[in-house]
Amino acid sequence: SSGFEAAEIGWPYAEPPEALARAAREAGLRVVLINTPPGDREKGENGLGAVPGRQAAFREGLEQAVLYAKALDCSRIHLMAGRVPKGADRAAVRSEMEIVFLENLRHAAEVLAQENLVGLLEPINTRITDPRYFLDTPQQAAAILQKVGRPNLQLQMDLFHWQIMDGNLTGNVREFLPIVGHVQVAQVPGRGEPDSPGELNFSYLFQLLEDEGYTGFVGCEYQPRGDTAEGLSWLRSYWEMRGRPQAGQ
């Protein structure tokens, strides 16, 4: 009703896929991104891709994600890396976790290719949001993607996380955009709307994405400070500035 043409569903698994697909059709929305299951949230899991000893659970979750993606006609799945085990030293387990992640990603790439789907890796900041998350910088994610070497695995660029971990957004956008398959936005540090007080100049960043040739979706993964629809004034202003009265890519 606010003009969007597409939506993300982080974890859709509480609802039957057919019900979600019907709701999306009725709303006139495309579903463009879902995540793999988080694992056991009660035990503190937040993804399983790089977690030693959880390979079988990751693969089961991947099959479930593919089932939902096909039902929703959703072409992208965020392959969640997961957290460094509690009590473990990040540096001590990094090599082992990367080996597990590479193994799982090669498997995922084959499974996804059979269904013409794309897998995404998202670095999540470890300074504010998730201190134990394994994958936390674009450089780390890009290096892993290079080692796997599969064209249907790409980078998910959440500018909120990238700013917190590394800054240098102009340089990083230009360097990594060729392997980016999806973009998400939120202001830093409060994770509010792009026009809320904070560090990021989204007029500049949106123009940068356009100038660099990005034509994919931008997900508004922020926490509204008040009413969601009222908080979209920044987007209506952007559409008017671009001469686009309707939502676009």
Residue 196 in domain: no
Catalytic residue among 122, 175, 199, 230: 122
Catalytic residue among 175, 221, 230, 240: 221
Residue 228 in domain: no
Residue 162 in domain: yes
Residue 206 in domain: no
pTM of the model as a whole: 0.95
Indicate left, alpha or beta for 112 from its phi (over 0: left) and psi (-120 to 50: alpha).
Answer: alpha
Q: Is 221 a catalytic residue?
A: yes
Q: Could you tell me if 144 and 105 are in contact, meaning their C-beta atoms sit under 8 angstroms apart?
A: yes
What's the whole-number mean pLDDT along residues 77-87?
A: 97
Residue 172 in domain: yes
Number of H helices, E strands in the chain: 8, 7
Task: Encode pLDDT of 118-160 as tens digits.
Answer: 999 999 999 999 999 999 999 999 999 999 999 999 999 999 9
Q: Is 96 a catalytic residue?
A: no
pLDDT greater than 80 at residue 249: no
pLDDT greater than 60 at residue 245: no
Residue 66 in domain: yes
| Number of separate domains in the chain | 1
CATH number, position 112: 3.20.20.150
Q: Which domain holds residue 57?
A: 6-184
Residue 245 in domain: no
Residue 190 in domain: no
